[in-house]
Structure 1
Amino acid sequence: MGYKRTSVTKAIVQALRSIGGIASREKLHTLIADDENSGFSYKDVFEKVTSRNGNQYTPFNFDFNFSVRELSVIEYIEPVHRGASLVLTELGRTADLTHFPSAEQQAKMTAYWENKKQRRAQKQVEVASDDTVDPVDDDDITDWRIQLLQQLKQFSPAKFESFARMLVSQMGVTIDKNRGIVQSGDHGIDGYGYFESNEFRTIRVAIQAKRYTDTAVSEPEIDKFKGVMDGFNAEYGIFITTTYFTPKAKAKAVQGNRTVTLVDGQRIADLVAQYELYVQPVQSYTLDDYYFEQD
């Protein structure tokens, strides 16, 4: 069953409260996807669909961005600015969410969208009915991320393993030239190297890369990887996949003395942007409501 359109307001407030009241949109997407009580699964948050005109988009983004504006209207979050983190107000931090939103709050949100619709109609601004057009700023989930993951899923296993080693190298791991570059399928790992901490302690790191199309990485795969880590005497592991990890896999990753850092498709995109790995940043602008308001 596919994603059903619904409000994300309560999930956003709960996610912000869990992290201290301030977070980027990207971080909130991940928090909501990881929280089993949010009402949204990983697929709900990140799964893409194809529109009638052939473009891919993520339906959850549409509801998330609507909800951000609504939370601003009822003063649960501070005024929203493009590219800035979302910040809870005092009301957003302390209000009881048992009956949220209240009838009064819902009326305010409805009035906001009706007013916005009327202003746009006056200026003859077309509001498209296709879900690929989001009437609210979407600062963090953009077309390039969708395209990046599509391309990574088409890599050969060897190329994706090479990409994974390049990624962890940017994260500070020095790849062992003799043991760290292995052929696909050899030994059960896809890379091996060393990380030096700020205390000058050198840590042995094993790397696993899975180029999946839709399948989630499950607990047995993490368990198997940990077993292979023992064979390499690795103290730390990094598991990279183009999809995502099941809740049990996440729990297994932090059990015992040897932990595993999990890098899913969304975090891959974050790291590619952070280190600008074969991508070029592009700056653009959209007109704010000021330009559409009458004097």
Structure 2
Amino acid sequence: MSIVSRRILVTGGAGFLGSHLCERLLEAGHDVLCVDNYFTGRRDNVAHLIGNPRFEVMRHDVTFPLYVEVDEIYNLACPASPVHYQHDPVQTTKTSVHGAINMLGLAKRLRARILQASTSEVYGDPQVHPQREDYWGHVNPIGYRSCYDEGKRCAETLFFDYHRQHRLRIKVARIFNTYGPRMHPNDGRVVSNFIMQALAGEPITIYGDGSQTRSFCYVDDLISGLVALMETEDAVTGPINLGNPVELSIRELAEAVIELTGSSSELVFAPLPHDDPVQRRPDITLARSTLGWQPRVALREGLQRTIAYFERLRDELGPSGRKP
């Protein structure tokens, strides 16, 4: 069966997830417009795609209107790690809210299908475990993480109001912890932190006692889920959880990274950040039944691929992870 080529906009396309999504869409034969303001996205993430005649890059901030012609929109633009989204919390909220308004307005004008990359952070520090899509969450609206948590919650509200009021064709994916090549080396997220510290032989910093749990999905699996959701019939709007339901403690993750890197790093402990969730695991029953999707890459295999990426990055950039 021949694939109908579409022109697809990916906001945040030079970021960790966005660059992998651009790559996957190009492989499927689509034309891709990558839009990024490079606050957390990096040109290096998409440099290998520049020569592809179906690929275009545009520097743009989604808090301002965008006037382009496309068939579909994946809205991934927003800093996703606490280090980055707390750097300028007002701008983070604007990116989620104004960005959603601008992309929804574009989709309305074009009558285009649009997908919102939401987050498991809409569940806050959950009182229901594992988290299902019908759980409304337990979120601090005035805390240090609120710029991201509440910004994403508001974006979901906007998406469903545009759907109800303007019959817009929307998709909402709630993304749980994802890791893999092209993560920013200094983004403060637990997988990249642990790997960078282990490769440098530095102590691995665990916030809290390490008993808090997370579930980690390899990036290739996550991208498959996003594409599968976009391809569903219009009646399927989501929200749909996308993540790996295998749960482990932060301490177990640290020990796995030490083993796989062959590092001599020791564990050190620091106070838990404000509003840091104690546990996080997706219920992906809906993704399995609606999308026929579930993660396939085991944690150990995914960590090995990610460690190999960071080893190459250190060789290129030096121990700091920054260009000289």
**Please, what TM-score do these two structures have when normalized by structure 2?**
0.22
Q: Which has the larger radius of gyration?
A: 1
Greater strand proportion:
2
**Please, what TM-score do these two structures have when normalized by structure 1?**
0.23
